[in-house]
Structure 1
Protein backbone atom coordinates (compact mmCIF):
# COMPACT_ATOMS: atom_id res chain seq x y z
CA UNK A 1 0.00 0.00 0.00
CA UNK A 2 1.42 3.35 -1.06
CA UNK A 3 2.02 5.92 1.64
CA UNK A 4 0.98 9.57 1.30
CA UNK A 5 4.64 10.47 0.83
CA UNK A 6 5.08 8.00 -2.00
CA UNK A 7 1.88 9.20 -3.60
CA UNK A 8 3.05 12.81 -3.34
CA UNK A 9 6.26 11.93 -5.16
CA UNK A 10 4.36 10.25 -8.00
CA UNK A 11 1.44 12.59 -8.50
CA UNK A 12 3.02 14.39 -11.47
CA UNK A 13 2.84 11.18 -13.52
CA UNK A 14 -0.94 11.28 -13.23
CA UNK A 15 -3.38 12.79 -15.73
CA UNK A 16 -5.26 14.32 -12.78
CA UNK A 17 -4.72 17.93 -11.69
CA UNK A 18 -3.65 17.99 -8.06
CA UNK A 19 -4.47 21.68 -7.71
CA UNK A 20 -8.18 21.16 -8.32
CA UNK A 21 -10.84 20.82 -5.65
CA UNK A 22 -12.49 17.44 -6.13
CA UNK A 23 -15.60 18.41 -4.21
CA UNK A 24 -18.18 21.11 -4.82
CA UNK A 25 -17.61 22.83 -1.46
CA UNK A 26 -14.59 24.54 0.02
CA UNK A 27 -14.15 26.07 3.45
CA UNK A 28 -12.44 29.44 3.97
CA UNK A 29 -11.32 30.72 7.37
CA UNK A 30 -10.46 34.41 7.78
CA UNK A 31 -8.76 35.45 11.03
CA UNK A 32 -5.98 38.03 11.30
CA UNK A 33 -4.74 36.38 14.51
CA UNK A 34 -4.49 32.91 13.01
CA UNK A 35 -1.27 31.18 14.03
CA UNK A 36 -0.14 27.58 13.75
CA UNK A 37 -0.75 26.71 17.38
CA UNK A 38 -1.51 23.12 18.28
CA UNK A 39 -5.07 24.12 19.14
CA UNK A 40 -5.66 25.74 15.74
CA UNK A 41 -4.12 22.80 13.89
CA UNK A 42 -6.46 20.42 15.72
CA UNK A 43 -9.46 22.59 14.81
CA UNK A 44 -8.37 22.71 11.16
CA UNK A 45 -7.97 18.94 11.05
CA UNK A 46 -11.49 18.46 12.40
CA UNK A 47 -12.86 20.94 9.87
CA UNK A 48 -11.18 19.05 7.00
CA UNK A 49 -13.10 16.01 8.15
CA UNK A 50 -16.25 17.96 7.23
CA UNK A 51 -15.06 19.85 4.11
CA UNK A 52 -11.71 18.66 2.83
CA UNK A 53 -10.70 21.83 0.97
CA UNK A 54 -9.79 24.30 3.73
CA UNK A 55 -7.97 27.57 3.05
CA UNK A 56 -6.88 29.87 5.88
CA UNK A 57 -6.39 33.63 5.42
CA UNK A 58 -5.13 36.31 7.80
CA UNK A 59 -5.68 39.22 5.39
CA UNK A 60 -9.07 40.38 4.22
CA UNK A 61 -7.92 41.35 0.70
CA UNK A 62 -6.48 37.87 0.06
CA UNK A 63 -9.68 36.16 1.14
CA UNK A 64 -11.79 38.57 -0.91
CA UNK A 65 -9.57 37.99 -3.96
CA UNK A 66 -9.99 34.23 -3.64
CA UNK A 67 -13.77 34.57 -3.41
CA UNK A 68 -13.91 36.85 -6.45
CA UNK A 69 -11.79 34.43 -8.47
CA UNK A 70 -14.38 31.76 -7.75
CA UNK A 71 -17.32 33.94 -8.74
CA UNK A 72 -17.41 32.58 -12.29
CA UNK A 73 -16.96 28.92 -11.33
CA UNK A 74 -20.27 27.17 -11.92
CA UNK A 75 -19.83 24.40 -9.39
CA UNK A 76 -17.82 25.95 -6.55
CA UNK A 77 -19.62 26.71 -3.30
CA UNK A 78 -17.99 28.40 -0.31
CA UNK A 79 -18.57 28.06 3.42
CA UNK A 80 -16.88 30.89 5.34
CA UNK A 81 -15.62 31.07 8.92
CA UNK A 82 -14.81 34.64 9.87
CA UNK A 83 -13.34 36.16 13.02
CA UNK A 84 -15.42 38.92 14.54
CA UNK A 85 -12.76 41.61 14.00
CA UNK A 86 -13.40 41.42 10.24
CA UNK A 87 -17.08 40.74 10.22
CA UNK A 88 -19.07 43.89 9.49
CA UNK A 89 -16.70 45.45 6.98
CA UNK A 90 -15.90 42.25 5.12
CA UNK A 91 -19.38 40.74 5.05
CA UNK A 92 -20.80 43.91 3.53
CA UNK A 93 -18.40 43.38 0.61
CA UNK A 94 -18.89 39.68 -0.05
CA UNK A 95 -22.24 38.65 1.44
CA UNK A 96 -24.17 38.67 -1.85
CA UNK A 97 -21.66 36.64 -3.89
CA UNK A 98 -23.51 33.72 -5.45
CA UNK A 99 -20.89 31.14 -4.51
CA UNK A 100 -20.99 32.03 -0.80
CA UNK A 101 -23.61 29.79 0.76
CA UNK A 102 -23.02 30.01 4.53
CA UNK A 103 -21.13 32.09 7.10
CA UNK A 104 -20.04 31.20 10.65
CA UNK A 105 -18.71 33.95 12.92
CA UNK A 106 -16.11 32.68 15.40
CA UNK A 107 -14.47 34.21 18.45
CA UNK A 108 -17.14 36.47 19.87
CA UNK A 109 -19.90 36.33 22.47
CA UNK A 110 -23.35 35.00 21.68
CA UNK A 111 -25.04 38.26 22.69
CA UNK A 112 -24.94 39.73 19.18
CA UNK A 113 -26.30 36.73 17.28
CA UNK A 114 -29.70 38.28 16.53
CA UNK A 115 -28.10 41.47 15.28
CA UNK A 116 -25.74 39.52 12.98
CA UNK A 117 -28.56 37.45 11.53
CA UNK A 118 -30.76 40.45 10.86
CA UNK A 119 -28.00 42.18 8.94
CA UNK A 120 -26.56 39.18 7.04
CA UNK A 121 -28.96 36.39 6.14
CA UNK A 122 -26.26 33.84 5.25
CA UNK A 123 -24.93 33.76 8.82
CA UNK A 124 -25.70 30.38 10.37
CA UNK A 125 -24.36 31.14 13.81
CA UNK A 126 -22.02 33.14 16.04
CA UNK A 127 -19.68 30.98 18.12
CA UNK A 128 -17.15 31.28 20.91
CA UNK A 129 -16.59 27.54 21.35
CA UNK A 130 -14.78 25.73 18.50
CA UNK A 131 -16.43 22.34 19.13
CA UNK A 132 -19.87 23.89 18.99
CA UNK A 133 -18.97 25.60 15.71
CA UNK A 134 -17.55 22.43 14.14
CA UNK A 135 -20.61 20.41 15.13
CA UNK A 136 -22.92 23.03 13.64
CA UNK A 137 -20.93 23.17 10.39
CA UNK A 138 -20.98 19.36 10.20
CA UNK A 139 -24.74 19.23 10.71
CA UNK A 140 -25.41 22.01 8.19
CA UNK A 141 -23.00 20.55 5.64
CA UNK A 142 -24.77 17.19 5.72
CA UNK A 143 -28.03 18.95 4.85
CA UNK A 144 -26.39 21.12 2.16
CA UNK A 145 -24.91 18.08 0.44
CA UNK A 146 -28.21 16.22 0.55
CA UNK A 147 -29.89 19.13 -1.23
CA UNK A 148 -26.97 19.42 -3.67
CA UNK A 149 -27.25 15.73 -4.59
CA UNK A 150 -30.68 16.39 -6.07
CA UNK A 151 -29.08 18.59 -8.73
CA UNK A 152 -26.84 15.76 -9.98
CA UNK A 153 -26.91 15.19 -13.68
CA UNK A 154 -24.88 15.53 -16.83
CA UNK A 155 -25.89 17.90 -19.58
CA UNK A 156 -24.03 18.52 -22.79
CA UNK A 157 -25.40 22.05 -22.97
CA UNK A 158 -24.79 25.04 -20.80
CA UNK A 159 -28.13 26.82 -20.69
CA UNK A 160 -26.59 30.18 -21.48
CA UNK A 161 -28.60 32.20 -23.98
CA UNK A 162 -25.46 33.98 -25.15
CA UNK A 163 -23.87 30.71 -26.17
CA UNK A 164 -23.61 30.37 -29.95
CA UNK A 165 -24.77 27.44 -32.06
CA UNK A 166 -21.19 26.62 -33.04
CA UNK A 167 -20.16 26.29 -29.41
CA UNK A 168 -23.14 24.04 -28.66
CA UNK A 169 -22.34 21.84 -31.64
CA UNK A 170 -18.72 21.59 -30.47
CA UNK A 171 -19.86 20.57 -26.98
CA UNK A 172 -22.14 17.92 -28.47
CA UNK A 173 -19.33 16.48 -30.59
CA UNK A 174 -16.99 16.54 -27.58
CA UNK A 175 -19.52 14.59 -25.54
CA UNK A 176 -20.06 12.06 -28.33
CA UNK A 177 -16.30 11.55 -28.54
CA UNK A 178 -16.16 11.03 -24.78
CA UNK A 179 -18.84 8.31 -25.00
CA UNK A 180 -16.93 6.63 -27.82
CA UNK A 181 -13.75 6.61 -25.72
CA UNK A 182 -15.57 5.13 -22.72
CA UNK A 183 -17.16 2.37 -24.80
CA UNK A 184 -13.87 1.39 -26.42
CA UNK A 185 -11.54 1.65 -23.43
CA UNK A 186 -9.50 -1.44 -22.69
CA UNK A 187 -9.76 -2.15 -18.96
CA UNK A 188 -6.54 -1.80 -17.00
CA UNK A 189 -7.99 -2.06 -13.49
CA UNK A 190 -4.81 -2.31 -11.41
CA UNK A 191 -3.01 0.52 -13.21
CA UNK A 192 -6.08 2.77 -13.14
CA UNK A 193 -6.79 1.96 -9.50
CA UNK A 194 -3.23 2.77 -8.43
CA UNK A 195 -3.27 6.05 -10.35
CA UNK A 196 -6.56 7.07 -8.74
CA UNK A 197 -5.44 6.10 -5.24
CA UNK A 198 -2.11 7.94 -5.55
CA UNK A 199 -4.03 11.04 -6.60
CA UNK A 200 -6.61 10.76 -3.80
CA UNK A 201 -3.94 10.23 -1.15
CA UNK A 202 -2.34 13.51 -2.18
CA UNK A 203 -5.64 15.40 -2.28
CA UNK A 204 -6.79 14.06 1.11
CA UNK A 205 -3.38 13.86 2.80
CA UNK A 206 -4.53 15.96 5.80
CA UNK A 207 -7.89 14.23 6.17
CA UNK A 208 -7.60 11.10 8.34
CA UNK A 209 -11.24 10.14 7.89
CA UNK A 210 -11.05 10.08 4.10
CA UNK A 211 -7.63 8.40 4.11
CA UNK A 212 -9.23 5.52 6.02
CA UNK A 213 -11.86 5.26 3.28
CA UNK A 214 -9.19 5.35 0.57
CA UNK A 215 -7.16 2.62 2.29
CA UNK A 216 -10.26 0.46 2.73
CA UNK A 217 -11.03 0.92 -0.97
CA UNK A 218 -7.46 -0.13 -1.78
CA UNK A 219 -7.83 -3.34 0.22
CA UNK A 220 -11.37 -4.35 -0.69
CA UNK A 221 -12.42 -2.88 -4.05
CA UNK A 222 -13.49 -5.22 -6.86
CA UNK A 223 -15.01 -4.31 -10.23
CA UNK A 224 -18.26 -6.13 -9.51
CA UNK A 225 -18.84 -3.81 -6.52
CA UNK A 226 -18.15 -0.52 -8.30
CA UNK A 227 -21.72 0.78 -7.87
CA UNK A 228 -21.69 -0.17 -4.18
CA UNK A 229 -18.52 1.85 -3.64
CA UNK A 230 -19.92 4.78 -5.62
CA UNK A 231 -22.98 5.02 -3.40
CA UNK A 232 -21.41 4.01 -0.05
CA UNK A 233 -19.01 6.89 0.58
CA UNK A 234 -19.38 10.62 0.13
CA UNK A 235 -15.76 10.82 -1.04
CA UNK A 236 -16.39 8.96 -4.31
CA UNK A 237 -19.96 10.13 -4.79
CA UNK A 238 -19.02 13.80 -4.42
CA UNK A 239 -16.05 14.01 -6.75
CA UNK A 240 -17.56 11.79 -9.47
CA UNK A 241 -20.78 13.80 -9.54
CA UNK A 242 -18.84 17.05 -9.70
CA UNK A 243 -16.84 15.63 -12.60
CA UNK A 244 -20.10 14.75 -14.38
CA UNK A 245 -21.51 18.25 -13.93
CA UNK A 246 -18.26 19.90 -15.08
CA UNK A 247 -17.52 17.47 -17.92
CA UNK A 248 -14.15 16.68 -16.34
CA UNK A 249 -13.22 13.82 -18.63
CA UNK A 250 -9.81 13.29 -17.00
CA UNK A 251 -11.56 12.20 -13.82
CA UNK A 252 -14.34 10.27 -15.56
CA UNK A 253 -12.06 8.14 -17.72
Structure 2
Protein backbone atom coordinates (compact mmCIF):
# COMPACT_ATOMS: atom_id res chain seq x y z
CA UNK A 1 0.00 0.00 0.00
CA UNK A 2 3.04 2.25 -0.57
CA UNK A 3 3.14 3.21 3.14
CA UNK A 4 0.57 5.77 2.16
CA UNK A 5 -3.02 6.89 2.40
CA UNK A 6 -4.61 3.43 2.05
CA UNK A 7 -2.26 1.55 4.38
CA UNK A 8 -5.21 0.58 6.62
CA UNK A 9 -8.22 1.11 4.38
CA UNK A 10 -7.15 -1.26 1.62
CA UNK A 11 -6.20 -4.30 3.76
CA UNK A 12 -9.21 -3.83 6.07
CA UNK A 13 -11.63 -3.52 3.16
CA UNK A 14 -10.34 -6.63 1.41
CA UNK A 15 -10.33 -8.60 4.67
CA UNK A 16 -13.91 -7.61 5.45
CA UNK A 17 -14.93 -8.73 1.98
CA UNK A 18 -13.52 -12.17 2.65
CA UNK A 19 -10.14 -12.06 0.98
CA UNK A 20 -7.06 -13.73 2.39
CA UNK A 21 -4.47 -10.98 2.22
CA UNK A 22 -0.71 -10.55 2.56
CA UNK A 23 -0.24 -6.84 3.37
CA UNK A 24 2.90 -5.08 2.16
CA UNK A 25 4.21 -1.56 2.84
CA UNK A 26 1.65 -0.80 5.55
CA UNK A 27 3.97 0.84 8.09
CA UNK A 28 4.14 4.55 7.25
CA UNK A 29 6.52 6.66 9.29
CA UNK A 30 6.00 9.96 7.51
CA UNK A 31 9.06 9.53 5.31
CA UNK A 32 8.80 6.15 3.59
CA UNK A 33 5.80 6.79 1.35
CA UNK A 34 6.37 5.18 -2.10
CA UNK A 35 9.86 4.12 -0.97
CA UNK A 36 10.68 1.00 -3.00
CA UNK A 37 7.07 -0.08 -2.84
CA UNK A 38 3.57 0.48 -4.16
CA UNK A 39 2.49 1.28 -7.71
CA UNK A 40 5.76 3.09 -8.37
CA UNK A 41 7.78 -0.06 -7.58
CA UNK A 42 5.45 -3.04 -8.16
CA UNK A 43 8.18 -5.67 -8.56
CA UNK A 44 8.24 -6.44 -4.83
CA UNK A 45 4.49 -7.04 -4.83
CA UNK A 46 4.74 -9.24 -7.93
CA UNK A 47 7.43 -11.39 -6.30
CA UNK A 48 5.32 -11.74 -3.16
CA UNK A 49 2.35 -12.96 -5.22
CA UNK A 50 4.44 -15.85 -6.52
CA UNK A 51 6.06 -16.56 -3.14
CA UNK A 52 2.69 -16.81 -1.37
CA UNK A 53 0.81 -18.53 -4.19
CA UNK A 54 -1.70 -15.69 -4.34
CA UNK A 55 -4.37 -15.39 -7.01
CA UNK A 56 -3.41 -11.78 -7.76
CA UNK A 57 -1.65 -8.77 -6.30
CA UNK A 58 -2.56 -5.09 -6.09
CA UNK A 59 -0.36 -2.03 -5.68
CA UNK A 60 -1.62 1.43 -4.80
CA UNK A 61 0.54 4.54 -4.82
CA UNK A 62 1.03 6.90 -1.90
CA UNK A 63 -2.20 8.84 -2.32
CA UNK A 64 -4.04 5.70 -3.46
CA UNK A 65 -5.37 7.06 -6.74
CA UNK A 66 -3.37 4.66 -8.92
CA UNK A 67 -3.49 0.88 -9.29
CA UNK A 68 -0.94 -1.56 -10.72
CA UNK A 69 -1.60 -5.29 -10.40
CA UNK A 70 0.10 -8.66 -10.89
CA UNK A 71 -1.32 -11.97 -12.02
CA UNK A 72 -0.67 -15.28 -10.25
CA UNK A 73 2.54 -15.77 -12.26
CA UNK A 74 3.95 -12.44 -11.09
CA UNK A 75 3.44 -10.67 -14.40
CA UNK A 76 2.87 -6.96 -13.78
CA UNK A 77 -0.45 -5.63 -15.07
CA UNK A 78 -0.21 -1.93 -15.92
CA UNK A 79 -2.92 0.66 -16.43
CA UNK A 80 -3.37 -0.14 -20.10
CA UNK A 81 -4.12 -3.80 -19.34
CA UNK A 82 -6.51 -2.75 -16.56
CA UNK A 83 -8.27 -0.30 -18.88
CA UNK A 84 -8.65 -3.00 -21.52
CA UNK A 85 -9.99 -5.54 -19.05
CA UNK A 86 -12.55 -3.12 -17.65
CA UNK A 87 -13.62 -1.87 -21.10
CA UNK A 88 -14.23 -5.36 -22.47
CA UNK A 89 -16.14 -6.42 -19.35
CA UNK A 90 -18.28 -3.29 -19.35
CA UNK A 91 -19.05 -3.70 -23.03
CA UNK A 92 -20.15 -7.29 -22.39
CA UNK A 93 -22.47 -6.09 -19.62
CA UNK A 94 -23.80 -3.26 -21.75
CA UNK A 95 -22.56 -0.57 -19.35
CA UNK A 96 -19.79 0.99 -21.46
CA UNK A 97 -21.08 4.39 -22.53
CA UNK A 98 -21.05 4.89 -26.31
CA UNK A 99 -18.66 1.95 -26.76
CA UNK A 100 -15.69 4.25 -26.19
CA UNK A 101 -12.95 4.89 -23.65
CA UNK A 102 -10.38 7.63 -23.12
CA UNK A 103 -6.63 7.01 -22.96
CA UNK A 104 -3.61 9.24 -23.49
CA UNK A 105 -0.95 9.75 -26.13
CA UNK A 106 1.09 7.17 -24.19
CA UNK A 107 -1.58 4.44 -24.25
CA UNK A 108 -0.15 1.36 -25.93
CA UNK A 109 -1.10 0.87 -29.56
CA UNK A 110 -1.81 -2.79 -28.85
CA UNK A 111 -4.72 -1.78 -26.63
CA UNK A 112 -6.13 0.43 -29.35
CA UNK A 113 -5.97 -2.51 -31.78
CA UNK A 114 -7.65 -4.91 -29.35
CA UNK A 115 -10.45 -2.51 -28.48
CA UNK A 116 -10.98 -1.69 -32.12
CA UNK A 117 -11.56 -5.37 -32.90
CA UNK A 118 -14.24 -5.36 -30.21
CA UNK A 119 -15.89 -2.28 -31.68
CA UNK A 120 -14.66 0.04 -28.93
CA UNK A 121 -13.20 3.45 -29.83
CA UNK A 122 -10.12 4.76 -28.00
CA UNK A 123 -9.89 8.55 -27.73
CA UNK A 124 -6.40 9.88 -26.96
CA UNK A 125 -5.68 13.03 -24.93
CA UNK A 126 -2.62 14.59 -23.34
CA UNK A 127 -1.00 12.81 -20.38
CA UNK A 128 -2.81 13.49 -17.12
CA UNK A 129 -6.04 12.28 -15.58
CA UNK A 130 -7.52 15.79 -15.68
CA UNK A 131 -7.42 15.70 -19.48
CA UNK A 132 -9.00 12.25 -19.46
CA UNK A 133 -11.84 13.43 -17.24
CA UNK A 134 -12.35 16.52 -19.38
CA UNK A 135 -12.76 14.39 -22.51
CA UNK A 136 -15.05 11.95 -20.72
CA UNK A 137 -17.30 14.82 -19.65
CA UNK A 138 -17.32 16.35 -23.12
CA UNK A 139 -18.30 13.09 -24.82
CA UNK A 140 -20.48 11.54 -22.11
CA UNK A 141 -18.16 8.59 -21.50
CA UNK A 142 -17.74 6.61 -18.28
CA UNK A 143 -14.32 4.94 -18.50
CA UNK A 144 -10.81 6.25 -19.02
CA UNK A 145 -7.30 5.66 -17.78
CA UNK A 146 -3.59 5.86 -18.40
CA UNK A 147 -0.66 3.41 -18.27
CA UNK A 148 0.46 4.68 -14.86
CA UNK A 149 -2.68 3.18 -13.32
CA UNK A 150 -4.95 6.22 -12.97
CA UNK A 151 -8.43 4.92 -13.77
CA UNK A 152 -11.59 7.00 -13.96
CA UNK A 153 -14.95 5.24 -13.68
CA UNK A 154 -17.46 8.02 -13.43
CA UNK A 155 -20.35 5.69 -12.69
CA UNK A 156 -18.77 5.35 -9.24
CA UNK A 157 -16.57 8.39 -8.61
CA UNK A 158 -15.36 11.60 -10.23
CA UNK A 159 -11.70 11.09 -9.41
CA UNK A 160 -9.18 8.27 -9.48
CA UNK A 161 -9.49 5.69 -6.70
CA UNK A 162 -7.03 2.80 -6.77
CA UNK A 163 -8.91 0.69 -4.24
CA UNK A 164 -12.20 1.15 -6.09
CA UNK A 165 -10.52 0.05 -9.31
CA UNK A 166 -8.97 -2.94 -7.54
CA UNK A 167 -12.37 -4.02 -6.24
CA UNK A 168 -13.78 -3.88 -9.77
CA UNK A 169 -10.91 -5.97 -11.12
CA UNK A 170 -11.10 -8.51 -8.29
CA UNK A 171 -14.85 -8.80 -8.80
CA UNK A 172 -14.23 -9.69 -12.43
CA UNK A 173 -11.64 -12.25 -11.34
CA UNK A 174 -14.01 -13.84 -8.83
CA UNK A 175 -17.07 -13.95 -11.09
CA UNK A 176 -15.23 -15.11 -14.23
CA UNK A 177 -13.66 -18.16 -12.62
CA UNK A 178 -10.56 -17.51 -14.76
CA UNK A 179 -6.98 -17.18 -13.62
CA UNK A 180 -5.69 -13.64 -13.46
CA UNK A 181 -3.13 -14.41 -16.17
CA UNK A 182 -5.97 -15.20 -18.54
CA UNK A 183 -8.29 -12.36 -17.57
CA UNK A 184 -6.00 -9.45 -16.76
CA UNK A 185 -3.72 -9.67 -19.81
CA UNK A 186 -6.37 -8.18 -22.04
CA UNK A 187 -4.16 -7.51 -25.08
CA UNK A 188 -0.70 -8.09 -26.52
CA UNK A 189 1.24 -4.83 -26.14
CA UNK A 190 3.32 -3.41 -28.96
CA UNK A 191 7.00 -2.86 -28.18
CA UNK A 192 7.35 0.72 -26.93
CA UNK A 193 10.43 2.81 -26.16
CA UNK A 194 10.79 6.29 -24.70
CA UNK A 195 13.99 8.32 -25.02
CA UNK A 196 14.73 11.68 -23.42
CA UNK A 197 17.06 13.79 -25.57
CA UNK A 198 18.71 16.16 -23.12
CA UNK A 199 20.38 19.47 -23.80
CA UNK A 200 18.13 20.18 -26.76
CA UNK A 201 16.04 23.33 -26.99
CA UNK A 202 12.45 22.13 -27.48
CA UNK A 203 11.84 25.18 -29.68
CA UNK A 204 13.48 23.33 -32.59
CA UNK A 205 10.31 21.25 -32.87
CA UNK A 206 8.59 24.31 -34.38
CA UNK A 207 10.77 24.05 -37.48
CA UNK A 208 8.55 23.11 -40.44
CA UNK A 209 11.24 21.10 -42.25
CA UNK A 210 11.96 19.11 -39.10
CA UNK A 211 8.27 18.44 -38.58
CA UNK A 212 7.99 17.20 -42.17
CA UNK A 213 10.98 14.89 -41.78
CA UNK A 214 9.62 13.44 -38.53
CA UNK A 215 6.26 12.83 -40.21
CA UNK A 216 8.03 11.00 -43.04
CA UNK A 217 9.81 8.74 -40.54
CA UNK A 218 6.46 7.82 -39.03
CA UNK A 219 4.98 7.28 -42.50
CA UNK A 220 7.76 4.77 -43.19
CA UNK A 221 6.24 2.55 -40.51
CA UNK A 222 3.41 1.93 -43.00
CA UNK A 223 0.69 1.86 -40.36
CA UNK A 224 2.60 -0.67 -38.23
CA UNK A 225 3.56 1.79 -35.53
CA UNK A 226 3.37 5.36 -34.32
CA UNK A 227 5.68 8.15 -33.25
CA UNK A 228 5.29 10.82 -30.59
CA UNK A 229 7.80 13.66 -30.27
CA UNK A 230 7.05 16.31 -27.68
CA UNK A 231 8.91 18.89 -25.60
CA UNK A 232 9.28 18.56 -21.87
CA UNK A 233 7.26 21.09 -19.97
CA UNK A 234 9.88 21.44 -17.24
CA UNK A 235 13.33 20.65 -18.70
CA UNK A 236 15.46 21.45 -21.73
CA UNK A 237 14.83 18.12 -23.39
CA UNK A 238 12.76 16.47 -26.08
CA UNK A 239 10.82 13.27 -25.39
CA UNK A 240 10.71 10.72 -28.21
CA UNK A 241 8.38 7.74 -28.09
CA UNK A 242 8.08 5.01 -30.69
CA UNK A 243 5.73 2.03 -30.82
CA UNK A 244 5.84 -0.62 -33.51
CA UNK A 245 4.68 -4.13 -34.20
CA UNK A 246 8.27 -5.42 -33.98
CA UNK A 247 11.49 -4.48 -32.22
CA UNK A 248 13.22 -4.15 -35.59
CA UNK A 249 10.75 -1.54 -36.84
CA UNK A 250 10.90 0.26 -33.50
CA UNK A 251 14.70 0.45 -33.49
CA UNK A 252 14.84 1.63 -37.10
CA UNK A 253 12.37 4.45 -36.46
CA UNK A 254 13.89 5.48 -33.13
CA UNK A 255 17.41 5.65 -34.58
CA UNK A 256 16.18 7.77 -37.49
CA UNK A 257 14.29 10.15 -35.17
CA UNK A 258 17.22 10.65 -32.82
CA UNK A 259 19.63 11.22 -35.71
CA UNK A 260 17.36 13.81 -37.31
CA UNK A 261 16.53 15.69 -34.10
CA UNK A 262 20.13 15.84 -32.88
CA UNK A 263 21.27 17.02 -36.32
CA UNK A 264 18.85 19.94 -36.06
CA UNK A 265 20.13 20.81 -32.58
Answer yes or no: same fold by TM over 0.5: no
Structure with the largest fraction of helix = 1
TM-score normalised per structure 2 = 0.27
Larger relative contact order (Cα-Cα within 8 Å, sequence gap ≥ 6): 1
Which structure features the higher share of strand residues? 2
Structure 1 length-normalised TM? 0.28
